Amino acid sequence: MTDAWTNLKKFWKQPRVRIVFWAALTGLFFGVTGIAQPAEDMLRGVRWSLVEKESDGDVVIVQQDTKTLDELGAIDVDRGTDARALDHLFDAGAQRVFFDRSFANHSTKKDDDEFISVLKDNPGKVFLGAVPSANSRPGNYAGKLPLKEYREYAGVVSLLIYYRPFNLNVRLPLASDSPIGKIPSLSAKIAEVDGDTSQAYSPDFSVQVGTFKKLSYVDVMRGDFDPAIVRGKTVLVIPTAVTFNDIHSIPGQRVDAPGGFFHAIGAETLKHGVPKEYGWLLPFMLILAVVTSGLRRGRVLDVYRLTGLVVVLGAAPFLLDFVRIHVEVVPALAVALVAVVRVRNLDRVEEAGETNAGSGLPSVQALRNSDELTPHILVALKIRNYGGIIGSFAEHVEAQLAKEIVRRIRISDDDVAVYHEGGMFVWLSNIRSTFDLFENLEGLHRIVQNGIQVGGLDIDLSFNCGVDSEFDRPLSGRIASAMQSAEEAVRNDELVYQHDSRRHEAQWEISLLTSLDRAIDNGEVWVAYQPKLDVRKNEICGAEALVRWTHPERGPISPEKFIRIAEEFHRIERITRFVVNEAVKSAVELDRLGHDLTISVNISAQLLRNPGLPGMIGDILAEHGLPSERLILEITETDRLDRSSRTFQMLQRLVKSGLRLSIDDFGTGNATIEYLRYLPASEVKIDKVFVQSMESSKDDLLLVQSIIEMAHSLDRTVVAEGVETAAALQMLNDMQCDVIQGYYLSRPVPFRDLVEQIAEPKVLKIG
């Protein structure tokens, strides 16, 4: 079970696995919530606009237009007028007549009698509309029917229409429930399609409204029209006058028309069969499979495949429309776009990390990314004075120097790919014998001892090598061994040093450095937050951001260990940048949640000598929009401090930029009274050593009290670290300490746990 969990965590830490997960989650969100419907309807509208079809002419539209009402001198058409119009239509040879209107109300007795008489004379040829009533049940239910006496001789059809969000599309049912049972929809009856009340479809709006044959109702009523227009045809009578207030936007056609055209176009659609609706799940699964398989092969999803996926997702529905199959592609598009954009970003980062900017050679990181096993001996060659050489000449010298080194390596080790990182050159040798390889490296040493000429300048080189021949280990692990062996060769003044697995544990500590960058990218390195309590207000006022490393095999690694190594090899800037960025993001999120707290971050003494520090912090604050006063930099200095030092000048720059400084570990080393005199800090943190022992040591108690009084006299806020008991808290409260931090309040916790603690704070008894 433990192995399975470990493998699962390793699997999850792969960036491309996480990309597939978030792409799939995005697509599922779009599909399940239906939030993509408007976009889907817009795409369908675009497809309809590209394919303009003409009506087949089987349905003739008779319009109860403004001309009709004007000539009748009425605001509506009465049943007597309907009777005369029906007589003329059937005399002209019309096959059936459908009314896109409700006939639920009586006209005059004379008009009703005339209308019923025409219905009797043409049984089963006239169909009247049923609509929802104000008090009928919701859903697909036509509660308002034509009058019973009309229904004895005329059919009843449903006029229900489902409008999609923003009226970008409509769907029509094949049938509706009603007080007299199931009735067909108008379009289904015209097309003679039998369907269930649970079935609905989208009309094919590529059929253009303007291509239907149309007659004015008043001309039909007077018999003033060409009978050939309606002979053998189905006639659909629709209200089109503005006073009927039945004008709608027709999807994909950029025209407004009466709602009756929805039914007319729907009828033409159904004549070719009911469209099949397959929804979003099938395209989603297909694209997810493509994306997943692509990621499994490596970097295959580039801008060309993005274009291909988009074209396929755009063209497939277009082609499927011709065979009356409808699919929804927006969730699938979301999967493709999220996956490809994030993969492209990841590729750019990896490509940048896999090429050494100075030499132009492949970076050692490119080799670290490989987990393959290889029977080649791995060699790491360390140029001892590389940094001094590069620093003494112009920028272009590094590329020329690297080129000369590679040329000499390949003199006896043909066509090997050489990888470069700092002063280290790494390659997989084609020489299979360790003895032969050692002799080859000795020959290389003699060649290089004669010097290398670059740009007309003679450069003296000195190097040592590390070798790893444990072929049963993946390359990613062997690189660390070979590089560490090269360092051992330098320390022992040996030309070649071979990795010995028996020394693996000791070497592993140093090899932490080589895997630190990848650990940050993989999420193994994370930030914990230890809350700080305002003693007077008895509430959380801030938190300290603390870096943590959870190794997939070794488990939690002591921060003191990997930070010490990072400082030793001048790699602390990457860790600091990561922690500051995470801390600032967390502060912004806390602000969004309504918590006005400060976040503290430890700054290495080594980094205080880096002139780029203020710019780095400023860029992070600007990126996330956090005011500088909300970030506190905790400073621990081991060197003596005076006003002329570069460190002091750096601290002044940081304070002028609006940042707040805190003296960390006060009372130890050089962090004493001299600091309070010179350091422009607003906060003093008493070292936990004194806080934890003050309960049993009177001297330490007096020391803590003196620090608090001294800091207060200089207008500094005092924070006591290492508070682990209620008694210690009470003593600090009595001494008027401002803020406490320690296990009694909380251990360092993940950010989500910090948020919960702030929302439901632990009740501490003070005073």
- Enumerate the H helices of 450-558 as residue ranges: 475-492, 504-521
Rounded Cα–Cα distance for residues 354 and 299 (Å): 14
Give which of 586, 671, 595, 588 is closest to 634, Cα–Cα: 671
Asked if pLDDT for residue 708 goes beyond 50, the answer is yes
Q: Would you place residue 539 in the very low, low, confident or very high pLDDT band (cuts 50, 70, 90)?
A: very high
Dihedral pair phi/psi, residue 74, rounded to 5°: -140, 170
> Is 664 a residue whose pLDDT tops 60?
yes
CATH classification number, 517-759, choose in 3.20.20.450, 3.40.50.720, 1.10.10.410, 3.40.50.300: 3.20.20.450
Q: Which amino acid is at 340?
A: V
pLDDT tens sequence across 34-69: 888 898 888 888 888 888 899 999 999 999 999 999
Task: State yes or no: pLDDT of 378 exceeds 80.
Answer: yes
Look at residue 170 in the predicted model and tell me its pLDDT. 94
**Does the structure show a pLDDT above 90 at 523?**
no
Give the whole-angstrom CA distance, residue 701 versus residue 350: 54
% of the chain beyond a pLDDT of 90? 44
The answer to whether residues 762 and 744 touch, using CB atoms and an 8 Å cutoff, is no
Global pTM reads 0.51
Please report the pLDDT score of residue 651 as a whole number: 87
DSSP H or E run through 128? strand 126-130
Q: How confident is the model at residue 300 (pLDDT cuts 50, 70, 90)?
A: very low
DSSP class per residue in 320-358: HHTTTEEE--HHHHHHHHHHHHHHHHHHHHHHHHTB-TT
pLDDT 10s digits, 189-242: 999 999 999 999 999 999 999 999 999 999 999 999 999 999 999 999 999 999
For the four alpha carbons of 523, 524, 527 and 530, in that order, the dihedral sign comes to positive
| Mean pLDDT of the residues in the chain | 85
Q: What is the pLDDT of residue 148?
A: 94
Distance CA 236, CA 101 (A): 10
Per-residue pLDDT, averaged over 420-444, amounts to: 84
Burial 307-340 (b: 16+ CB within 10 A, else e): eebeebbeebbeebbeeeebbbbbbbbbbbbbbb
Q: 732 or 286: which carries more pLDDT confidence?
A: 732
More confident residue, 20 or 345: 20
- The helix (H) or strand (E) run that includes residue 113 is helix 109-121
All residues at 6 or more sequence positions from 636 whose CB lies less than 8 Å from its CB, including other chains: 602, 605, 664, 665, 669, 671
pLDDT on residue 215: 96
CA distances from 264 to 207, 244, 260 (A): 10, 18, 6
Per-residue pLDDT tens digits for 115-148: 999 999 999 999 999 999 877 778 899 999 999 9
Q: Which residues have C-beta within 8 Å of that of residue 514, sequence separation ≥ 6?
A: 368, 479, 480, 483
**Do residues 253 and 246 lie in contact, with contact meaning Cβ atoms separated by under 8 Å?**
no
504 has a pLDDT exceeding 60: no
For 63-87, what is each residue's pLDDT tens digit?
Answer: 999 999 999 999 999 999 999 999 9
Is pLDDT above 90 for 158? yes
pLDDT at 394 over 90: no
How far apart (Å, rounded) are the C-alpha atoms in residues 31 and 35? Answer: 7
The phi-psi region of residue 183 (left if phi > 0; otherwise alpha if psi is between -120 and 50; otherwise beta) is: beta
Nearest to 425 by CA among 487, 472, 474, 383: 383
Decide if 425 contacts 433 (C-beta within 8 A).
Answer: no
Instruction: Check whether 638 has a pLDDT greater than 50.
Output: no
Separation between Cα atoms, residue 316 and residue 587, nearest integer Å: 46
Contact 336, 306 (CB under 8 A): yes
Q: What average pLDDT score do residues 79-100 get?
A: 95
pLDDT at residue 299, as a whole number:
47
CA distance linking residue 507 with residue 501, whole number of Å:
9
Tokens in use for 258? 């009466």
Average pLDDT, integer, range 753-764: 85
Q: Quick check: 11 pLDDT over 60?
A: no
Average pLDDT over every residue of 592-610: 90
What is the chain's Cα-based Rg? 40
Element spanning 97, H or E: strand 96-102
In this structure, whether the domain defined by 364-499 belongs to CATH 3.30.70.270 is answered with: yes
Give the other-Cβ count within 10 Å of 512's Cβ: 20
